[in-house]
Amino acid sequence: MSDISFTSPAPGYWADENVSADDWNSAKWQLKNRVSSLADIEKHLTLCEEERAGILLTGTKLATSVTPHYFNLIHPTDPDCPMRRQVIPRIEETYTDPSEMADPCGEDSHMPVPGLVHRYPDRVLFLVTDRCASYCRYCTRSRVVSGVSDQKLETQWDRAIEYLKRTPQVRDVLLSGGDPLLFSDSKLEKLLTRLHAIPHIQFIRIGSRIPIFLPQRITPELCAMLKQFHPLFISIHTNHPRELTTEVHDALGRLADAGIVMGNQSVLLDKVNDSVEIQKDLVQKLLMCRVRPYYLYQGDLIQGTAHLRTGIAKGIEIIEGLRGHTSGYAIPQFVVDGPGGGGKIPINPQYIVESNEERTVLRNYEGKEFIYPEAKLAAVPE
């Protein structure tokens, strides 16, 4: 049976530093006290050789930064801790496989305006910031996120808004980056107001890991502001059931109470969530948080992430292990983002055993086969 209990990481490593409850529950304090240097990390973790070298050598590719809230979920001595592998650099990040790319989703080649990606006919990706509360080591946009790489995100806000106004086929805008929920309430409200005023934009989505890394940011005031802009969707990003703490559960509850529809996007990661058992615990816990599991992504071919990627067969195995063993609402769609800009391609286990004009033979989750006759026109009596 899955463990759906929610626990709090506070105050953890900071217990001896007399951090007050008011400070700990403050998003500003959490951001100000992010762990970002080798010295800070070594105060709390016993690093392995690969991690120490990684922290020293990867600073020009993607910054290291972890909120205290999330840092307290990390095992202090185990380099294979699932949370640790997501946010602590390793020397393997400096290795590049020949198949890897700086821009694996082909976003830069689909920008009619800097910062605005128009790859699908009716929707756009609006990259509004290059900063996050914490930085995931498998980040698809590591080429522009965190401000330390050579390529910079140069979003042109007014040109982006004008492009949207004169492109009526766009009905859906996804705000991402970086993390849009790092914006102040007033700055985010101004942006949402401008987008909401464009008649053909039917709904807005926000992609965010803030509810996981920084649940203190999800205040009643933020939720009340967001509530003005329905239909509004938020795609959160959590990869492991231990990330769903009491604080995260409560933050997601505030968003749900504000009428915001939430889906979760996970990335399949080696030694993090690459088992049916972990994925089952995660998706069932998400439903308890009123979040629908939406996508399970195969890891993108990002430079320096081969040590975190699994094979596609592992994702198929996980989906097959979930099907029939948990609610349909709990099963995400496994997708591969076609390398170079092919978009999301759904991948499913094979349940069709045989198909012809007369019948289709289907296999269920137990391996049993069932025959479904193909429809034929009934004979019309003379």
C-alpha span between 254 and 139 (Å, rounded): 27
Q: Is 166 tagged catalytic? A: no
Candidate list 13, 23, 48, 119, residue with the active-site label: 119
Cis bond leading into 231, ω under 30°? yes
Q: Is 139 tagged catalytic? A: yes
Candidate list 105, 132, 223, 289, residue with the active-site label: 132
C-alpha span between 316 and 301 (Å, rounded): 18
102 contacts 304 by C-beta, under 8 angstroms? no
Cis bond leading into 178, ω under 30°? yes
Candidate list 34, 61, 84, 123, residue with the active-site label: 123
Which residues on neighbouring strands pair with residue 334, listed in sequence order? 296
Kindly tell me the sign of the dihedral angle through the C-alpha atoms of 28, 248, 298, 128. negative
Beta-carbon contacts of 322 under 8 Å, excluding residues fewer than 6 positions away, are: 276, 279, 280, 283, 330, 331
Q: Is 123 tagged catalytic? A: yes
- What's the Cα-to-Cα distance from 307 to each of 63, 119, 157, 269, 301, rounded to whole Å? 18, 29, 36, 9, 11
Q: Is 90 tagged catalytic? A: no
Candidate list 13, 120, 163, 294, residue with the active-site label: 120
209 contacts 262 by C-beta, under 8 angstroms? no
296 contacts 337 by C-beta, under 8 angstroms? no
Candidate list 52, 84, 90, 141, residue with the active-site label: 141
Q: Is 138 tagged catalytic? A: no
Candidate list 90, 205, 300, 309, residue with the active-site label: 300
Candidate list 81, 105, 139, 223, residue with the active-site label: 139
Q: Is 135 tagged catalytic? A: no
Candidate list 136, 138, 209, 274, residue with the active-site label: 136
Q: Is 120 tagged catalytic? A: yes
Q: Where are the alpha helices (DSSP H) in the chain?
A: 21-24, 27-32, 38-44, 49-57, 68-71, 82-87, 157-165, 185-196, 210-213, 220-226, 246-257, 276-288, 312-322
Q: Is 337 tagged catalytic? A: yes
DSSP annotation of 95 reads -
Active site amino acids: 119-120, 123, 132, 136, 139, 141, 300, 337, 344
